[in-house]
Amino acid sequence: MMTTLETDPEHIAISKSKGIKIDWKDGHRSEYGLTYLRDKCPCATCTGAHGTPPRQPESGNPFPMYKPVLKIVSVGPVGNYALQIHWSDGHSSGIYSWEHFRHICPCEECQGG
Ligand SMILES: [Zn+2]
Ligand SMILES: [Zn+2]
């Protein structure tokens, strides 16, 4: 029998300074760090879907080792299928669907490790 349990969150824990944890209805647990989630932003700007180059590290930065600490400013629900994340770097156009979350689960099992 086909189910959608694996893309249906049972519980979501959001920490604005650490990241997001999701318990899925199929019993799987995913933990996403902030930087990882930001890198996996599915919006057109970050993925280059509109033919623009994907997000690149800033060149000409006089302090290449310096990075502002990334945080979540706010998280809002999008319907009942996704979250929209507002980042401290000003970016907020990423809509993270449950399917996307499950797809990018960094655990060994999901990444084929
Ligand atoms: Zn984005
Ligand atoms: Zn996983």
User: Could you give the residue ranges of the DSSP H alpha helices within 9-112?
Assistant: 34-39, 44-47, 98-103
Total of domains in the chain: 1
Of all ligands present, the nearest one to the C-alpha of 101 is 2
Give the ligand with the smallest distance to the CA of 96.
1
Q: Residue 13 falls within a domain, yes or no? A: yes
Nearest ligand, CA 37: 1
CATH of the domain at 99: 3.30.2020.30
pLDDT digits (tens, 9 = 90+) for 27-83: 999 999 999 999 999 999 999 876 666 666 555 556 566 667 899 999 999 999 999
The pLDDT of residue 1 = 45
CA of 110 to the centre of ligand 2 (A): 4
Note the pLDDT of residue 56: 60
Task: Identify whether 59 is part of a domain.
Answer: no
Range of the domain at 91: 5-50+69-103
Cα gap 80→8, rounded to integer Å: 10
Collect residues with CB below 5 Å from ion ligand 2.
Answer: 105, 107, 110
